[in-house]
Amino acid sequence: MKRLLALSALFLAAACAPEEASRQARQCDVSLLVLGVAQDAGKPQIGNPDDPAWTDPSLQRYATSLALIDRRGEKPKRWLFDATPDIKFQLHALNEAAPTERPTHLNGVFLTHAHIGHYAGLMMFGHEAAGAQNIQVFAMPRMADFLAQNGPWSQLLAYHNIFAAIMEDGEAETLAQGISVTPFLVPHRQEFSEVIGFRIEGPEKSAIYLPDIDSWEEWDEKGPRIEDMIADVDFAFLDATFYSGDELPGRDMSQIPHPTVSHSMARFEPLPLEEKEKVHFIHLNHTNPLLTPGSPARKKVRQAGFNVAEEGDEMCL
């Protein structure tokens, strides 16, 4: 409960005076809200009894997720990016930021891929929990087929808790006036589905959400350079699973490839400061020192001009 209260407080405050935060909130008709910043298993992670986050709720973090909120009109519209194992806590926080009559109501859920931290929360829409009705789940073809062919996800479809909206690479989904979401394929482990990121377009600003990718260099060979994508948006939520390559002693890091934060900062170093400031590192493994407030790693990231995503951050679109 302390953890919920702490996260809720983040949504009611900002790094400015209360009256300014209130004014900004009133002006922010369309926004992105950060609901989680950790890797799939969250922090603390299962099997790590020495993590101080077990006893210090302020150190706990939810699996990575964003919410897109459209406050125009009588009732807010709300879309979720990735359905995490922490979804019940994240929906609770979303309800405090943009309340609706039905707390579990969503206008849609966008899935990046079939690794547990990004879709397992769908189970909470089932009749054992929320008993949701016809929540639109946006998924690429293989991802949609995976849900349809495997339980318990197939039961969600059979009971009409959810229904699949099939996306195509590079094809925009128009959600409301001035709001669209476009998926783009990225290289990453594809055991059960494609892996994608999203370009999220608002009436005034735009963002990319890219929590998982094997490497920037592999992507260079097949698609746009990440620097070009950063230049084309206002906010870039980028894979920062590991800070460095030595965080998992005894594990073959080549089997769990991600661009380290150290490597990303070195690659992005030539960018002008205004481009660096667009970057918000997200999807942090429980070993990542960026999860520790005040750590030397966090200070280094900020001194270099980049940002670390925080639960409760809200960006106007």
Report the CATH number that the domain containing residue 264 is assigned in CATH.
3.60.15.10
Show the domain range for 254.
2-316
Distances in Å between the Cα of 245 and the Cα atoms of 78, 123, 226, 267, 304 are: 37, 33, 21, 16, 19
Q: How far apart are CA 203 and CA 193, in angstroms?
A: 31
Write out the chain's pLDDT in tens, 317 residues.
444 444 444 444 434 443 444 344 445 899 999 999 999 899 998 999 999 999 999 999 999 999 999 999 888 999 999 999 999 999 999 999 998 888 888 999 999 988 888 899 999 998 888 778 899 999 999 999 999 999 899 999 999 999 999 999 989 999 999 999 999 998 767 677 798 999 999 999 999 999 988 778 888 877 789 999 999 999 999 989 888 766 655 555 555 567 899 899 999 999 999 999 999 999 999 999 999 989 999 999 999 999 999 999 999 99
Report which residue type is found at 144.
A
The answer to whether the beta carbons of residues 111 and 178 sit under 8 Å apart is no
pTM over 0.95: no
pLDDT of 197 reads 93
pLDDT of 10 reads 47
Task: Give the residues across from 179 on adjacent strands.
Answer: 176
Alpha helices in the chain (DSSP H): 2-12, 18-27, 87-97, 116-119, 141-149, 153-158, 216-220, 226-231, 261-268, 273-276, 296-303
Give the list of residues 6+ apart from residue 213 with CB closer than 8 angstroms, or none.
186, 187, 188, 195, 197, 219, 239, 258, 259
The phi and psi torsions of 185 (rounded to 5 degrees) equal -75, 145
**Digit-coded pLDDT (tens) for 202-249:** 999 999 999 988 778 888 877 789 999 999 999 999 989 888 766 655
Helix (H, G, I), strand (E, B) or coil at 89: helix
pLDDT of 275 reads 97
Our count of domains for the chain comes to 1
pLDDT of 11 reads 43
Other Cβ atoms less than 10 A from the Cβ of 262: the count is 15
Distances in Å between the Cα of 156 and the Cα atoms of 7, 65, 129 are: 29, 21, 11
Q: How far apart are CA 112 and CA 41, in angstroms?
A: 16
For the chain, what is the radius of gyration of the CA atoms? 19
With CA atoms as reference, report the closest residue to 64 among 11, 23, 110.
110
pLDDT of 243 reads 86
Query: Looking at residue 64, what DSSP letter applies?
Result: P
